[in-house]
Every structure is written in structure tokens, then in C-alpha cells.
């Protein structure tokens, strides 16, 4: 029995997210061995990791534009080989400079580990986009959780260099064939519009895409504070053992899976902005709780709150981009927003570290994170709507179905590799019928959703 194409796309996207985010955090797991092997100090090791986030942030904007022009699958397949090669090359690094260059290459490839995937999955499941984006987000959480369990034992057996090489080989032989097999729901790759920077500029100035980007940046900053300092805070200030302190990451990841599925699915009913306001408020509450924490039990409770929020925020912003700006520009908007988020991710560790050094405690950093999390609500409320705001009513649903069919037809005209009968095939007719039924079912269960927010 063969899987429907939407589920193949979900499996492929889940797998890419699993590896991209798992490998992102592998550097921290292998850092002590790499510092010893390459003669790096703490400052140099931090700069080496900075090279990954810098290249990832810069290239994300290009990736967003390419998704709108090439399509999600073609963009993913273009960058996955870069990702696999870069990961393998880290195992061959002979100096800190080489490691920084190779990690920058990984950052270029890893830039397709989110933006194209959220577009790909939403096109595969147009009626329940929030729920299935939540499933995709669990791939990110399970990726770094699984790497945390297997990488250190593997490094003890074979060495850190060999671990990087094995991970690079896994990325090549697992992810690339799976992405090829999955295919596209809408084969608009070569037939999409050319990259148009003026279109993105118009979205920023007239469509007010900057508002969502600023909110995304503040949320990313607030999230990165506990991700960076939770182990040090637990061990140095609360006196926990290194093993128990490290387990807080596992707890955060596990609760992130729950948040990704439950909250994201709820956004299909409550509306995206309302749910984002709720999730970012929960994030702020969790950070305030960490600021006031007294011991291990309190710490576990507030880390659970943070993890629940952490898992839901990323897919909610991805779904909001589609709601506000439509299929034709959602990739470009997500690319722009990811640049903003990258700034937040880059700024949180040094600013939080300066606060900790100045005050002698990590608590002020958590308090600052809570303030920034609350600040992320302001652009959501004040930013208004994009130029292609999608309301959930039956007329919009019918237009969406017509839009998908039109893209298929236009895409086919530029894709001789797709047989002419494919657009009207039994598979596609079944897909349109299923999408229409799912949308109508959702609409009838909640008549007037997403009004105002």
C-alpha cells in the first residue's frame, strides 16, 4: 500500500528538519572534544559557532525568494547536498579557521531546514495547516533530543571527527533520495515567477511585513536566553549536578513536542494571531518563573512551561506568513522574518552574558527575556494585515482551491516532464475533493474565525 503524496511530503520535511536541527546542536555536544582537538578556547569556539548562524541568517533571505520562484522541493534539493558535504567536512577540519568555514557551509545548507519545509507542508495540507506544521516542528525537537542521546556515546566509541562524517553521510543517503521521492503537490518549480527584490521591498514598505519580522525577532531573542544559559544557571546557581542540569534540555524538548502539536492545532480554530499572542505570553510567564525559581522542582515546572511555548511559536509564525501574504509571497516573507529571527538569536547570548557578568547572576537575563517576549506582542497587535490576508470563509476557500488548480495548470505548461493527464488525474481530483471537504468541515465547526485578529 503506497502513501499519498501529502504524507510523503510530510515525512520528507520531518526528516530534513530532524537532521537540520539535530546537527545544529551537535556542535555544542561535541564542543569539549573539538576544543581539545583543534586547540580552541571558549572565545574562539564561540566565534566558530557564530559562523554557522551568520551564514544561515544571510542565506535565509535568498532561500525565501527561491521558494516563491523555484518551489519548495527544488529549493530543498539544491541546498541539501551543500548541507551534507559541509557536515562531513567538519570532521576533516585541521584548525579553528577551517572548522568555522565548514560550519558556515553547513549554515548555508541548513537554511532550507525550515522555510521551504513550512511552505511544502502547508501546500500538502491546506485545510489543517496549523496541525501539520506542529507535526513538522516535532521533527526539530526530536532532532536535537535524539542527537543529545546518541552523539556523545558515538564520540566515545569512534571519535568526534568520525561522528561528523557519519552524520554527513546520513544526510546525503537519507534526505536527498527522500526529497526526490516526495515530489511536489504543485509542480511550479521552473514555471514560477523570477526573483523580484522589488516585490519583497513592497511587502516590507506597503504590506508591513516588517511588523511580523520584529515580533519574530523579539520571540527568538526571548527563547534563546534559556536555551543558552539554563544549564549554567541550574548547576552554578541552583547547585544541581551536571547530569540533572543537562536533563533540563531534554525536558524542554519533550514539552516542545506537546506544544507544537496542541497549540498549533488549536490555531486552526482560534486564529493564528490570537494563538501567537497566547504562546508568547506563556513564554514571558515561563521566563518570569525562572527569574524567581528557588530549587529543582520549581525549575522543572517552569522549564516545562517554556518548552510548551517554545515548541509552538515557530510553526505559528510560519502559518501566519501564509495567512497574511498568500502562497505567492509566503516564502519571501518567511525568508525576511528568518533574518529578523537570526538577529534575535545572535544577540541574546552576548547580551545575556553581559548581564550575567555584570550582576553575578543569570536571573536578570531571564527578566530581560520576559520583557522582550511581551514586546513581541506589540507588532502583532499593531502591525495590521498583509496585502493578501486570507479569511476563513467559504468564498475564500473556493478561491484557494481555484488558485491551487491554476498553479498546477500554469506549472504544467512549463514542465514537459509532467504528463498532460496529471492535472486531471484521479490522484489530483481526489486531492482537490479532500482539500475541499476538510476546509468545509473546519469552516462549519467554527463559523466566524479570524475576524479582527
Cell 520535511 belongs to which residue? 13
pLDDT of residue 376: 93
Q: What tens digit of pLDDT does each residue of 141-150 get? A: 888 778 877 8
Mean pLDDT of 400-406: 46
Least confident of 30-34, 200-204, 306-310, 315-319: 200-204
Three-state DSSP class for residue 219: helix
Question: Which residue in this structure is represented by grid cell 536555551?
Answer: 227
HSE-CB of 90 using CA atoms within 13 angstroms: 34
Residue 392 pairs in a beta bridge with 449
395 band by pLDDT with thresholds 50, 70 and 90? very low
296-325 helix and 129-158 helix, angle to the nearest 10 degrees: 130
Cα–chain center distance at 348? 18
Q: How many CA atoms lie within 13 A of 155 on its CB side?
A: 20
Residues 6 or more apart whose Cβ sits within 8 Å of residue 442: 127, 128, 268, 392
E strand or H helix at 405: helix 394-413
C-beta atoms surrounding 375 within 10 Å: 18
**Tens digits of per-residue pLDDT, 283-312?**
999 999 999 888 778 888 999 999 898 888
DSSP assignment string, 63-105: HHHHHHHH-HHHHHHHHHHHHHHHHHHHTT--SHHHHHHHHHH
How many angstroms from the chain centroid is the CA of residue 315?
Answer: 7
Is residue 65 over pLDDT 90?
no
**Averaged confidence pLDDT in the chain:** 78
Residues in the chain: 453
404-439 confidence digits (pLDDT tens):
444 444 444 333 333 333 334 444 455 445 555 555
Would you state the pLDDT for residue 251? 82
Structure-block grid coordinates of residue 334: 518567511
Residue, of 249 and 99, whose pLDDT is higher: 99
Closest CA to 296 of 253, 249, 255, 238: 238
For residue 200, the model assigns a pLDDT of: 59
Residues 6+ away with beta carbon under 8 Å from 240: 234, 296, 299
Q: Comparing 169 with 442, which gets the higher pLDDT?
A: 169
Q: Is the pLDDT of residue 274 over 80?
A: yes
Each residue's pLDDT tens digit, 191-215: 455 555 566 566 655 556 778 889 9
Distance CA 449, CA 246 (A): 42
Using one digit for the tens of pLDDT, what is the confidence trace for 3-12?
Answer: 678 899 999 9
Number of neighbouring beta carbons within 10 Å of residue 452:
6
pLDDT band per the 50, 70, 90 thresholds, residue 257: confident
Across 41-55, 89-103, 203-217, the highest mean pLDDT is recorded for 89-103
Q: Which residue has the higher pLDDT, 282 or 238?
A: 282
- pLDDT on residue 447: 40
How many Cα atoms within 13 Å fall on the side-chain side of residue 389?
15
pLDDT at 116 > cutoff 80: yes
- Which pLDDT does position 55 carry in this prediction? 92
Point out the least confidently predicted range of 66-80, 107-121, 138-152, 162-176: 138-152
- Phi/psi of residue 196, each to 5°? -130, 100
Q: In angstroms, rounded to a whole number, what is the distance separating the alpha carbons of residues 227 and 247?
A: 12
Of 173-187, 242-256, 280-294, 434-448, give the range with the top mean pLDDT: 280-294
Of 183 and 96, more confident = 96
Q: Using 50, 70 and 90 to split pLDDT, how confident is the model at 277? A: very high
Amino acid at each position: 500500500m503506497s502513501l499519498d503524496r501529502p504524507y510523503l511530503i510530510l515525512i520528507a520535511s520531518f526528516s530534513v528538519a530532524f537532521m537540520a536541527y539535530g546537527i545544529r546542536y551537535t556542535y555544542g555536544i561535541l564542543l569539549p572534544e573539538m576544543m581539545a582537538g583543534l586547540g580552541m578556547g571558549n572565545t574562539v569556539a564561540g566565534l566558530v559557532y557564530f559562523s554557522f548562524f551568520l551564514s544561515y541568517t544571510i542565506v535565509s533571505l535568498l532561500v525565501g525568494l527561491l521558494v516563491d520562484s523555484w518551489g519548495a522541493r527544488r529549493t530543498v534539493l539544491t541546498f541539501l547536498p551543500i548541507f551534507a558535504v559541509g557536515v562531513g567536512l567538519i570532521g576533516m577540519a585541521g584548525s579553528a579557521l577551517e572548522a568555522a568555514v565548514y560550519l558556515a557551509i553547513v549554515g548555508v545548507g541548513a537554511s532550507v531546514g525550515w522555510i521551504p519545509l513550512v511552505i511544502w507542508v502547508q501546500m500538502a495540507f491546506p485545510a489543517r495547516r496549523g496541525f501539520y506544521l506542529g507535526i513538522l516542528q516535532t521533527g526539530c525537537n526530536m532532532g536535537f533530543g535524539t542527537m543529545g542521546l546518541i552523539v556523545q556515546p558515538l564520540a566515545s566509541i569512534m571519535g568526534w571527527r568520525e561522528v561528523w562524517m557519519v552524520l554527513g553521510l546520513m544526510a546525503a543517503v537519507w534526505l536527498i533520495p527522500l526529497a526526490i521521492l516526495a515530489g511536489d503537490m504543485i509542480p511550479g518549480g521552473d514555471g514560477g515567477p523570477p526573483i523580484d527584490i522589488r516585490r519583497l521591498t513592497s511587502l516590507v514598505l506597503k504590506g508591513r511585513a516588517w511588523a511580523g519580522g520584529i515580533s519574530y525577532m523579539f520571540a527568538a531573542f526571548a527563547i534563546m536566553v534559556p536555551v543558552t544559559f539554563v544549564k549554567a544557571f541550574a548547576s552554578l546557581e541552583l547547585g544541581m549536578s551536571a547530569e540533572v542540569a543537562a536533563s533540563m534540555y531534554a525536558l524542554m524538548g519533550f514539552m516542545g513536542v506537546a506544544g507544537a502539536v496542541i497549540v498549533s492545532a488549536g490555531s486552526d480554530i482560534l486564529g493564528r494571531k490570537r494563538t501567537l499572542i497566547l504562546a508568547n505570553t506563556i513564554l514571558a510567564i515561563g521566563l518570569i518563573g525562572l527569574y524567581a525559581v528557588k530549587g529543582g522542582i520549581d525549575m522543572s515546572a517552569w522549564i516545562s512551561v517554556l518548552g510548551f511555548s517554545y515548541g509552538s511559536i515557530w510553526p505559528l509564525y510560519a502559518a501566519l506568513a501564509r495567512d497574511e501574504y498568500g502562497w505567492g509571497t509566503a516564502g519571501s516573507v518567511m525568508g525576511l522574518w528568518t533574518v529578523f529571527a537570526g538577529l534575535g538569536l545572535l544577540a541574546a547570548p552576548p547580551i545575556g552574558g553581559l548581564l550575567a557578568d555584570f550582576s553575578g547572576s543569570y536571573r536578570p537575563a531571564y527578566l530581560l527575556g520576559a520583557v522582550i517576549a511581551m514586546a513581541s506582542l506589540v507588532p502583532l497587535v499593531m502591525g495590521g494585515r498583509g496585502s493578501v490576508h486570507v479569511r476563513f470563509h467559504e468564498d475564500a476557500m473556493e478561491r484557494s482551491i481555484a488558485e491551487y488548480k491554476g498553479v498546477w495548470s500554469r506549472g504544467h505548461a512549463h514542465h514537459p516532464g509532467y504528463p498532460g493527464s496529471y492535472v486531471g488525474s484521479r490522484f489530483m481530483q481526489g486531492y482537490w475533493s479532500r482539500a475541499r471537504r476538510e476546509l468545509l468541515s473546519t469552516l462549519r465547526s467554527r463559523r466566524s474565525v479570524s475576524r479582527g485578529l
